[in-house]
Amino acid sequence: MIRDRKKEALVAFILILPFLSIYSLIFVYPTIDMFLLSFTDAPLIGKGEWVGLENYTRLPNDRRFDTAFWNTAYFVLLSVIPGTFVALAIALGISRLQGRLQAIVLALFFLPYILPVSVVYRLWDWTLNFQFGIAMHLFDLMGIDRVPIFKVTGWFMPAVAMVTVWWTSGFSILLFLAGLRSIPNEIYEAASLDNTNRWTLFRRITWPLLWPVTALVLTIQLILQLKIFDQVYLFSVGGRPNDNLVMVYYIYQRAFVSNDGGRAAAIAIVLFIIVIIVSVLNFQLMRFAEKRS
Amino acid sequence: MADISLQNISKSFGAVEVISGLSLDVHSGEFVVFLGPSGSGKSTVLRMIAGLESIDSGTLLIDGKVSQDLAPGQRNVAMVFQNYALYPHMTVRENMAFGLKNIRLAPDEIKRRVEEAAHVLEISALLDRKPAQLSGGQRQRVAIGRAIVKEPAALLFDEPLSNLDAALRVRTRVELAELHQRMKSTMIYVTHDQTEAMTLGDRIVILNNCKIEQIGTPLEVYNTPATKFVASFIGSPAMNFLSGTTSQGKTGANFVTSDGLTLETNIALSNFGAFELGIRPEAIRISDTADGLPAHVRVVERLGDRTLVYAVLPDGTQIVAQDSGRSGVQTGDKVHLTFDPSQVVLFDAEGKAHHS
């Protein structure tokens, strides 16, 4: 078939034009503008003076930035790795079920994922509230002292991480289930003829064949959890927001509370770079591990 | 190397009975082929022997040991799957060694067995590759290698050649026959390809509709098919069938075609009535004289060594006859066909064959 390359290119361009214009308008342009903003002392709205790298150089000595950075790292550690393993374990369990029961159980585990964060907050506040929480009544029954979980710094991040795992693991379970289904049944049949016990089957067959999905789940979770904000914001209400700061929360504080558009932009750029580095690094590490195994 | 005995085996999937009351003895060192169309239950029987499908009732003896309730790995059988089912993340060596490591065989012994099998199958150079880096034929060999390193009581093959191209299939078929001669192991082989069955099997078990139609050597099932199904399934081009009726003749039954022509046979029948006459293409002679069935030649296929003549009888029955390579028959010719009486088979209304 003879094709008119010029005409094809034109048609292709016209077809992607709507996407390209919207993407440029609401992603590329604001990103560049924010990058420029981070070198000024602009307030939230309006222009500011050029201050060079000052917004960046003051970050190492910014105690609140320090708190936000380490809290975010701590939260990622507490949510991403346990979340991935919990999802894998649940997916393995669900994959053993059959037919309608499997669909029902999967739906139950997926349900939290479709809830808005405000509902998640309400549910867990009712559960873990110091005065009225259901969990506290259980604590009383078991003779354990009540803990104001969201008011104590040491409890806050683990609790929010746990809630986040509960909230977001449905999607990871779905990905793991898809991965499990893509392993041909014949492989398992061959393994059963090869005298494989259940643990060896998981360690030598299922887990290695599921590795690409695991890498995907870890990367998605990593990017998602580095951007943690809503849960921390909601659970901090009436608590100690400054101790529980995370990166996006600090950006919000700088921009919308302190009216420091320039400084907020600088922190946002730092987070942006961290997300890129960590996710690329994670993906490369995964690929390396996969090759080696 | 062991005997395998299936005694009155039955199996249902839900309300559908897929195998009922099947009995079969496979002798030690024998190459038995299960042949049948898709849905005939041949793979199910193989998978029941392997332990991949449960057996609802009946007894399975492997090497004299009651095995129907044993896990697949404990039956001492190995299987080669249609899609090979190699472990994609393991090298060829790891694939072959996996089952041996699971039974905690000594590492030297594993190494010895893997290298010996690789040598036999000519895959020694591929031991450190992964399945994705191998061609279809090479994967096939690895799958066979993974089965033979276990030194099993029996090797089971589930349509192992169906994913190979035609030329490779013929070559691998010959190699499988050689492998069987060398190893003298019990092999059960499932296929829907009659050529594979005829060339490989010591005995062929022909299945249809989840029942055994006939068990016999390749020549037995070809020359004396037990049923019309077997007669039509084995042989290429297929056996010709003419419908008509029978009556008592001088030497045996007389067959009267629907056109009223009488063919004398020497087949003894106890009942007469509506029958079908079966005759293989190579048992039909195209005569230049006026005796035999008149036929009209529609198509002539010249294959070099032989000529296939597609003709139509006056009642519309299609007949394929085989003539010599230098046959002078032309499309459109009016010819007469005579049948070798010793090779005529009569099938009664139930499809049961009657031979002379």
pLDDT in the model for residue A293: 55
| pLDDT at A94 > cutoff 70 | yes
Assess contact for B187 and B155: CB atoms under 8 A.
yes
Instruction: Give A-chain residues touching B102 at CB under 8 angstroms.
Output: 194-197, 200
Query: Which domains does chain A possess?
Result: 56-292 (1.10.3720.10)
Tokens found for residue B107: 């590492």
> Is B38 within 8 Å of chain A by CB?
no
More confident residue, A17 or B183: A17
> Is B78 within 8 Å of chain A by CB?
yes
Q: How close is the nearest chain A Cα to the Cα of B217, in Å?
A: 30
Chain A's closest residue to B51, CA to CA, is A193
Instruction: Give A-chain residues touching B51 at CB under 8 angstroms.
Output: 192-193
**Confidence grade of residue A292 (pLDDT, cut at 50, 70, 90):** low
Do the interacting molecules here have an ipTM over 0.90? no
Instruction: Report the amino acid identity of residue A263.
Output: R
**Confidence grade of residue A250 (pLDDT, cut at 50, 70, 90):** very high
Strand pairing category for B240-248 and B274-279: antiparallel
Q: Which helix (H) or strand (E) holds B274?
A: strand B274-279
> Is B236 within 8 Å of chain A by CB?
no
pLDDT above 90 coverage of chain A, percent:
65
CA proximity to A247, closest of A214, A225, A262: A225
Contact assignment for B81 to A195 by CB distance below 8 Å: no
pLDDT-flagged residues of chain B (< 50): none
Contact assignment for A190 to B52 by CB distance below 8 Å: no
Instruction: Report the amino acid identity of residue A258.
Output: S
More confident residue, A290 or B58: B58
Interface of B with A in 49-68 (CB under 8 A): 50-52
| pLDDT at A138 > cutoff 90 | no
pLDDT in the model for residue A129: 84
pLDDT in the model for residue A13: 94
Q: Which helix (H) or strand (E) holds B277?
A: strand B274-279
Q: What is the pLDDT of residues A24-60, one digit of tens each?
A: 999 999 999 999 999 999 888 888 889 888 999 999 9
CA distances, A40 to each of A37, A43, A56 (Å): 5, 9, 11
Query: Which domains does chain B possess?
Result: 4-227 (3.40.50.300), 237-354 (2.40.50.140)
| pLDDT at A233 > cutoff 80 | yes
DSSP, res B64: T
